[in-house]
Amino acid sequence: ELKVEQNPLFLSMQEGKNYTIYCNYSTTSDRLYWYRQDPGKSLESLFVLLSNGAVKQEGRLMASLDTKARLSTLHITAAVHDLSATYFCAVDRSGGSNYKLTFGKGTLLTVNP
């Protein structure tokens, strides 16, 4: 059974600081997704990581994938309040067809002024 573990589950940080969210998964997969969810809203796709060593960056967020370690990271640089949200990683378990995702429990990020 595929398990996806995120840590930390709760993260309170000050504006301007850097931090990393970790996502470990238990079985082989070369597709990993990061989503953002604002309170009471739906999920918004942030990154799709398709191969070992993949790195994607968008603004203050950078995601990477190490398939050998079964680890993805979401790095936050110089956090701002607008980044406050819940972040989910998800692993594809449909053999690359992206119709079955297993999600981590999410990391609730709060950025304080």
Partner 1 sequence: NAGVTQTPKFQVLKTGQSMTLQCAQDMNHEYMSWYRQDPGMGLRLIHYSVGAGITDQGEVPNGYNVSRSTTEDFPLRLLSAAPSQTSVYFCASSSRTSGRARVMFFGPGTRLTVL
Considering the rule CB under 8 A, would residue 105 count as an interface residue with partner 1? yes
Query: What residues numbered 3-22 form the site for partner 1, per CB under 8 A?
Result: 4, 9
**Is residue 87 at the binding interface for partner 1, with CB under 8 A as the rule?**
no
* 3-class SS string, the chain: CCCEEEECCEEEEECCCCEEEEEEECCCCCCEEEEEECCCCCEEEEEEECCCCCEEEECCEEEEEECCCCEEEEEECCCCHHHCEEEEEEEECCCCCCCCEEECCCEEEEEEC
Minimum CB separation from partner 1 for residue 22, in Å?
15
Q: Give the type of residue at 64.
A: S
* Choices 13-21, 45-53, 63-71, 73-81 (CB under 8 A): range interacting with partner 1: 45-53
Among positions 74, 76, 83, 101, the unique one binding partner 1 when judged by CB under 8 A:
101
Find the shortest distance in angstroms from Cβ 101 to partner 1: 6
42 binds partner 1 (CB under 8 A): yes
Residue 106 contacts partner 1 per CB under 8 A: yes
